[in-house]
Structure formats: structure tokens, C-alpha cells
Chain A
Amino acid sequence: MNKKAIVVLFPIFIVFFASLFSSKHPDTLETFAVNQGFEKQAKEIVLIFNDYNLPFINNQFLSSFCAGIIGLVLLYILYKTIKFFEK
């Protein structure tokens, strides 16, 4: 396989593996919040791709994988916009 293709496909592989194996335990800041007792002060704003999941897909893996791919596409669009304003 072309090595440059590997560079482009790598984030998709990572999103795939993240959807399968990503830990569901709280991260360090959430753990810190629990330890210090301020976790309930945080306001959760519910968005369409909340917590890297799509609400209309029941399968956990597919939901997380699709959300990750959408994130990559959004980044691509953002950088296309940056490129558009380059000149």
C-alpha cells in the first residue's frame, strides 16, 4: 500500500479501534472532580453527537465509529475553509 495512503487512513483505523476498545472510565479531570466533590457543578449541554455517539444508532460500536468519522469530516471541512481564505 502507498505509504501516503497509510497516513490518510491511519485516523480512520484509530477511530475504528477507539470505537471498539476505548475505556469508558472517567478521565483524569472527571476523576479529579469526583475526588474534590465538584462533579455536579458541571453543566452537560446535550448536542447531536453527544459523547461521540449518534442517538439514532443503537449499536454502540457503529454509533461511536460514525461520530468519529463525522468528526474527521468536520475537520476536513474546517481546513478546506482555511485553505479557501488563504489567498
Chain B
Amino acid sequence: MHIPDGLLNNNLAAGLLAGISIIFSYCLRRVYKITTTIPLTISENNKNIGVCTFGFFNTTNEYIQKLTIIAMWVFSSQMFNIPVQSKISAHLIGGVFTAVIVGPFAGFLVISSVLIIQSIFFSDGGVLALGANIFNMAFIGSFISYYIYKAIVNKNYYLAIFVASLFSVLSAAFFCLLELSISGVVYFSISFKNMMYLHLLVALLETIITLTLLWLLKFSYE
């Protein structure tokens, strides 16, 4: 779902880039704050994956080190394109996975950092479209999705992951379509059905991979 350069209106791309820069710097400050307050906030509850903000990262020194590992997991998983239909492939976004593990602020930071590396070095997503890509996948796909997950997790963990993943992928696709239609590339009403249909299978794939990665990470740390 990486939007390349040349599709978005320059004003929209620049506006999103400016807005995302502000959110990025705020999230970075929050992450730095978390690294200094973890020893104070740690409790038995937040050692358990799935019910916590900081996951199982319980010392100041380990926090950013483990954000690196999560970023590497997401980067490598995004490299793996899985066929979902004939002649169509899809890959993980990883927004819900990161947000569940490290919380919304660090989740936003991790997905943004992966998108920045992909766009600058691998031309996977445009450099000018970076603001739009970070907005769709890191802000909507990770930051906002975390609160969907948090609202449901007390009732059922698997349902929370499923709904958050579904929301993450479909809302990212929705905003992607909105940005393209504002830029005059497509007509929103005509393309909506096609966009949502294509991403429905991706959302199911996202749920399965997110649950698998969370299980693997939990297994590795227990």
C-alpha cells in the first residue's frame, strides 16, 4: 500500500508531510519519556503481552534496543509478498502488531522508521508521498488501531486483534483512496468498491500474520 511519487497533489503531499513531522517529533518525545519512566510504571499486568502499553520491555536500556528488533521484524515481514489471489500479492503492514507490543507512540515511530528506510533507499513508496504513507500506515494503521484494540481486548484478545487488523488495513486503504481522489487521480465513488474488495483479503492476511508474530514473540520471551 505504498503510494509512489507522481500520484498525489503536491500541496496535499506537502501538507501531510508537515503534519506527520509534528506527530513524529511528538511521538519521539513520548518514546524518550517512556524510556526514562519504565522502571516506575512496570507492573505484573504489563509484563503480559496483549494487555499492556509497554509489553514485556521492562528496563530503560532495553527499550530502544527492542524497538530496533520490532522494526526489523516489520521490515522483513513487509519484504515478504504473499499471493492472495491469482496475480495479486500482499504483505503485512504491521501496525497492530507493533502497537500491541510497544504501545501507540512507539508503534507509530517503528512503522514510520520502516517506511522512511523503504522509501529513501528501496524506492518502495515515494519520498514526496512519505507523509501520506506514514499517515495511512503508521498513524491510522498503528496509532489509531491501537485504541480500537484497547477498547475490545478486555472482552476477547483474538477478537480485538481481528477487529483492529481489519480496521487498520481497510481504513488505511480508505484514506489512501481519499488522498488519490483529492489529487484527482480517481473518482472516489467509482473506485471505492474495487479498493475495499482488494484490501479485504489483505485484512484477513494481516490478522493471521499479526497473531502468528505476536505468538512467536511471546514464545521467544517467555
Contact = CB atoms under 8 A, between A and B. Distances in A.
Interface of A: 3-4, 6-8, 10-12, 14-15, 17-18, 21-29, 31-32, 35-36, 38, 41-52, 67-68, 70-72, 74-76, 78-80, 82-83, 86
Contacts of A75: 68, 71-72, 75, 113-114, 117
B194 A26 contact: no
B15 interface: no
A62 B123 CA distance: 19
A29 to B, nearest CB: 5
Contacts of B81: 18, 22-25, 27
Contact of B69 (A8, A22, A46, A50): A8
A14 B76 CA distance: 6
Interface of B: 1-7, 28, 31-32, 35, 64-65, 67-69, 71-73, 75-77, 79-84, 87-91, 113-114, 116-118, 120-124, 126-127, 173, 176, 180, 185-186, 191, 194-195, 198-199, 202, 216-217, 219-222
Contact of B76 (A18, A35, A48): A18
Contacts, number: 165
A75 B191 CA distance: 35
Nearest to A28: B198
B123 A32 contact: no
A78 B77 CA distance: 18
A75 B202 CA distance: 25
Centre residue among A28, A48, A76, A79 by max chain B CB count within 10 A = A28
